[in-house]
Amino acid sequence: MEKRLGGKLEKIPQKIRNLDAVFKPSSIAVIGASREPNKIGHVIVKNFIDGGFGGKVYPINPNAEEILGLKAYKSVLEIKEKVDSAVIAIPAAAVAGALEECGKKGIKGVVLISGGFSEVGNHKGEKKLAEIANRYGMALIGPNCMGVITPASRVDSVFLPIYKLGRPRVGPISFISQSGAVGGCIVDLASRAGIGMNKFVSYGNAAVVDECDLLEYLATDKGTQIIVVYLEGVKDGRRLLEVARRITRKKPVVVIKAGKSAAGAEAAKSHTGSLAGSSEAYRAAFKQSGMIEAQTLEQLFDFAKIFDQVLPCGNRIGIITNGGGMGVLATDSIEDEGLQLSKFSEETVAQLKASLPPYANARNPLDIIGDADSHRYEIAINALMKDESVDVILLIILFQTAAIDSSVVNIAIRASDLQKKPIIAVCTGGEYTEMHKRILESYGIPTYASPSSAMRSISRFIKYAEHYSKYNEMKCPVPIKTQK
């Protein structure tokens, strides 16, 4: 199997090719499957069953004949049928033997949940696992990881119960996390917000498959349009820079680097056995390669979801609001982020004056006043969609006002579906507002709680569009979902 890189054909390493067995297996063995509900091995088997996995699941437990209605086996070598992938959740001392059996069985992909290796100083034990996996050409995720999720194929080896950790719908974002805990939080948030995910992987100590291998795999994965990465440390910084530089020419990569402080670096070392490195060096590398760096988990989430929209053609922002003060805050944030407040065309101003009440001010920010209903929003959105001086529409909706109802959501979604310009929403409020935010998010309209968080994300969005335009023929607007 080969891929074309910069005009050259290069062979894809076997461990990267075999990641298909991890993310898209037709059969899977769970080594360490248990009859006890509080055991990790029980939860993993149950998640495959309850999640609707369409392939075969083989519980492996030498002391059980049946687990959750499925026949149990003493070893993977007892299974007569072909097995694509395995999840291992057993004590560290027994892992090498189980991994050797996986290799003999011809299993191509393994997710190793078990800890007790380099994160606790057991480098020799981890090196042995890498030797076994490499000898058989297996794609080994872990050890000391939380698992993988592929919503489209119902693959779910994450050891947290479905009723505790929400599972996201199918979408364009793939998430790579060195930390299982951080990854789990993002998955849960994505599920609650209705934001789709294509693949999730917690890769832990990266004994065999590391962040660069995963980036290489997702670079050519058709379902992945946006890549999000949580890093604590990197094995090969030069390779990361090279891989990321190539990927960002076609797909955005959003990254957060943990372990920046001295104490944080030490914590990262004990968490995944990772060497954290210089935060300044990472920051320079991210900028040079075109990656979008987030400073907090909130930003990581905020930056990723904005790429559901078409890429903008410039940095001129048009604001629509039913609350004047929010428009002022948004204008301040535009200046803070080095963006431009659009100046509406004469045609737009004339149209707005003719269509809106006389007490509405037909300039940017466009305050359609607190008594605005959905129809007034529709007039304003249509006018700004036609105005060539507006590159991005910031739509501020205060759902607390008496005249606003759920129909404004339909108007925003219809405009967004045209894919003519990016539409970004700001909705601030309580449960009624949150309900509508989730609906907007589920239809691909990124929605923020404040103008400042929205504008921070828009600025990164525009910077990526500028980066993308350097390497591609930019026919504005550019839908991320149709990029190849």
Domain range summary for the chain, segments of one domain joined by + = 14-306, 309-482
Helical segments of 306-404, H only: 324-336, 346-355, 374-386
pLDDT digits (tens, 9 = 90+) for 272-283: 444 445 778 888
The predicted structure's pLDDT at residue 9: 41
Q: What are 448's strand-pairing partners? A: 426
Q: What are 56's strand-pairing partners? A: 27
Nearest of 288, 300, 307 to residue 246 by alpha carbon:
288
- Specify whether the CB–CB gap between 381 and 321 falls below 8 A: no
Rounded Cα distance, 429 and 410, in Å: 19
**Alpha-carbon distance values, 264 to 100, 258, 259, 296 (Å):** 35, 7, 4, 14
Q: Which amino acid is at 313?
A: C
Both tokens assigned to 365 = 């920010």
Q: What is the pTM of this model?
A: 0.89
The predicted structure's pLDDT at residue 10: 54
- Specify whether the CB–CB gap between 313 and 476 falls below 8 A: yes
Q: Which residues of the chain have pLDDT under 50?
A: 1, 4-9, 263-265, 268-276, 481-484
Homologous superfamily in CATH for domain 14-306: NAD(P)-binding Rossmann-like Domain (3.40.50.720)
**Alpha-carbon distance values, 480 to 151, 346, 388, 449 (Å):** 20, 32, 21, 24
Cis? peptide before 59, omega within 30° of 0: no
The predicted structure's pLDDT at residue 325: 96
The predicted structure's pLDDT at residue 280: 83
- Name the residue with tokens 């437990």: 61
pLDDT digits (tens, 9 = 90+) for 403-444: 999 999 999 999 999 999 999 999 999 999 999 999 999 899
14-306 shares its CATH topology with 309-482: yes
The predicted structure's pLDDT at residue 475: 66
- Specify whether the CB–CB gap between 145 and 179 falls below 8 A: no
Rounded Cα distance, 412 and 410, in Å: 5
Q: Which CATH topology does 309-482 take?
A: Rossmann fold (3.40.50)
The predicted structure's pLDDT at residue 239: 94
- Specify whether the CB–CB gap between 36 and 30 falls below 8 A: no
